[in-house]
A and B are shown apart, each in its own frame.
Chain A
Amino acid sequence: MSSHNWNDQRIESVIGILLRTGVFLAASVVTIGAVVYLARHGHEVINYTAFHGEPRDLEGLGAIVYGALRGSGRSIIQFGLLLLIATPVVRVAFSAVGFAIERDYLYVATTLFVLAILLYSLLYA
């Protein structure tokens, strides 16, 4: 029981570092994108009063990465947001590994179920 708790603690501390790194990385990328975007489009007029969806190149994963590599500010921001959304996904994946190390198969299964839902949402929904 105590070794099992100790492992939980260790898993949690690694998860803490992981989350912090993910958020820091995402915020940095979004900031870089913001600088590019504001420098290029800062004086344009904008409003979000009517919903028309975002263009295709800001929706798909591949398209976002392609746009970001081309140096588009909005694509870089979107890539940063994608990193942010991926952070909890990575933390769930890591938890699955942690539970597997503990040989807690009930929770490996539980965690994989959550992971499947997250991936479904990100990739197929």
Chain B
Amino acid sequence: MNVLEFSALIGLGSLLAGFLGALTGLGGGVVIVPLLTLAFHVDIRYAIGASLVSVIATSSGAAAAYVREGYSNIRIGMFLETATTVGALVGAAIALHVSGDSIAVVFGLVLLYSALLSRRHRVEHGDHLPSSKLAAQLRLGGSYPTDEGKQSYNVRGVPAGYSLMFGAGVLSGLLGIGSGAVKVLAMDQAMKIPFKVSTTTSNFMIGVTAAASAGLYLRRGYIAPGLAMPVMLGVLAGSLIGARVLVKARVKVLRYLFAAVIVVLGFEMIYNGVTGRL
């Protein structure tokens, strides 16, 4: 395959991944590494570098839109970024010292887990319990727009959320993904932050988390421009189109389909990792 064909195919695949990721809310980043390694036999280290770059692009591109709507909470985001960025550096440092095959196995497990998470029902927390002492000291509470006007919310479970965020950072740095699923879990489940605020703040944080390990990857030669170029442009274009098209009626079926694809890719990554084919 020559450079032109290779770039065109990868660009198309990335476009589709970004499109489906934005449409289903599952993120395109998780399928980029399997796509590159399984279909194009790219070394997993180059794949992670390219994926990380595309994650920054989609996060920053989408955050610009969310920020205007007033859902994201920059205090929560910044406070938790102290955990995710340190985690991302740790994750990237681990990646430098372990084999591609073991990374593939971890990747597969994370894929299976995120497909599982996507099936969970989303419940808005209706309770109005006060903020915990720590959350109050950090002034993490806030308000967000709803149909019935501005709704304020309180925050709890800071230590649990913070630890989960560190884990999300490690996974992001190790695998070159956004770890949006774990970030939302930390905020929505552990810290009882409203779902809409959790997802948008998570998106906001993904770019900063990914940038923490991207610098290290760039300096270690993991980011190959010829590969990262079609991936970044493809995913970015796909996610921007996906965010516009968002046809609510079909999304449910698409979510199931995309989750099924993720499950298959997860098993495939684990199989290839265990048998040492990557």
Q: Chain A: residues with CB nearer than 8 A to chain B?
A: 5, 8-9, 11-13, 15-17, 19-20, 22-23, 26-27, 30-31, 33-34, 37-38, 41-51, 53-55, 58-60, 74-75, 77-78, 81-82, 84-89, 91-92, 95, 106-107, 110-111, 113-114, 117-118, 120-123, 125
Contact = CB atoms under 8 A, between A and B. Distances in A.
A26 to B, nearest CB: 7
B143 interface: yes
Contacts of A55: 221
Q: Which of B45, B57, B142 has the most CB of A within 10 A?
A: B57
A2 B216 CA distance: 40
B24 to A, nearest CB: 21
Contacts of B40: 48
A120 B214 CA distance: 11
Q: Which 4 pairs from chain A and chain B are nearest by CB?
A: A53-B221, A122-B215, A16-B67, A121-B215
Contacts of B229: 30, 33-34, 37, 77
Interface of B: 1-4, 6-7, 36, 40-43, 45-46, 53, 56-57, 59-61, 63-65, 67-68, 70, 72, 74-75, 78-79, 81-82, 85-86, 88-89, 92, 100, 138-139, 142-143, 207-208, 210-216, 218-230, 232-233, 236
Contacts of A43: 2-4
Given A12-B70, A42-B4, A111-B78, A19 B64 contact: yes
Contacts of B72: 12
10 contacts: A8-B74, A19-B207, A54-B225, A60-B219, A78-B218, A113-B82, A114-B82, A114-B208, A117-B212, A121-B92
A51 B101 CA distance: 13
Contacts of A81: 53, 218, 223, 225, 228, 232
